[in-house]
A = this chain, B = another copy of it.
C-alpha cells in the first residue's frame, strides 16, 4: 500500500513538472512558475520536521500529517554563495514537503521516513521581475503543473524578512552554510 502511494505521488509530481534548461527560470504567462523538473539533482541544503509558518501560506491547507521537508538550491547559485556568503540573482530554492510516515516495523520503530509530496514551495530571486529585494515566493500542492505566485503582503515575506539570517533566507537552518556567511559577514546580527 505504501509503495502504491509513493508511486502515485511520484507519478503525479513527474507529470506536474516540466523540463527546464539549467540556470533558467521557467515562468508561466500567468506569472506563476513551472517548478524545475530536476531539482532533486540540485544541491541539498537541509531537512526539517514540521517547520511551518505559524500562519499558513494563503491557499495552503494545514498539513494533516507530520511532514519532513527537503530544501534544494540550484548549483549555479550555490557556487556563488560558497564564494560570497550570499545569494546571486536567479537563485531558486525549492522546499519540498513530504509526508513523514512511521517507519516500517523492521527498523527504528519510533522513526519517521519520507513518503509522497504534500506541497512544494519556491523562493526565487529575480531582480528584474520583482522590485525591492528581488525575492518572490511560489506555492504548489505538487499536483498542478505550475506553482502559484504569492503576492505581497503575505506571511512568508514578512517572516523571511524578519528572521532570515542571510538575504531573507533561513541560512541558520542550513548547517554547512552558516560559517560561510559568518566568514563573509553576511550573517544578520552576527
Contact = CB atoms under 8 A, between A and B. Distances in A.
Nearest 3 pairs of A and B residues by beta carbon: A47-B47, A44-B44, A51-B111
Contact of A182 (B7, B9, B54, B179): B7
A44 B68 contact: no
A77 to B, nearest CB: 14
A111 to B, nearest CB: 4
Give chain A's interface residue range (CB within 8 Å of chain B). Answer: 35 or more
Contact of A173 (B70, B110, B113, B190): B113
Contact of A111 (B52, B108, B111): B52
Given A9-B175, A178-B7, A179-B10, A108 B50 contact: yes
Interface string A160-185: 00110000001011011011001000
Contacts of A129: none
From A72, A98, A109, A113, residue with most partner B Cβ within 10 Å: A113
A49 B111 contact: yes
Interface in A86-112: 98, 100, 103-104, 106-112
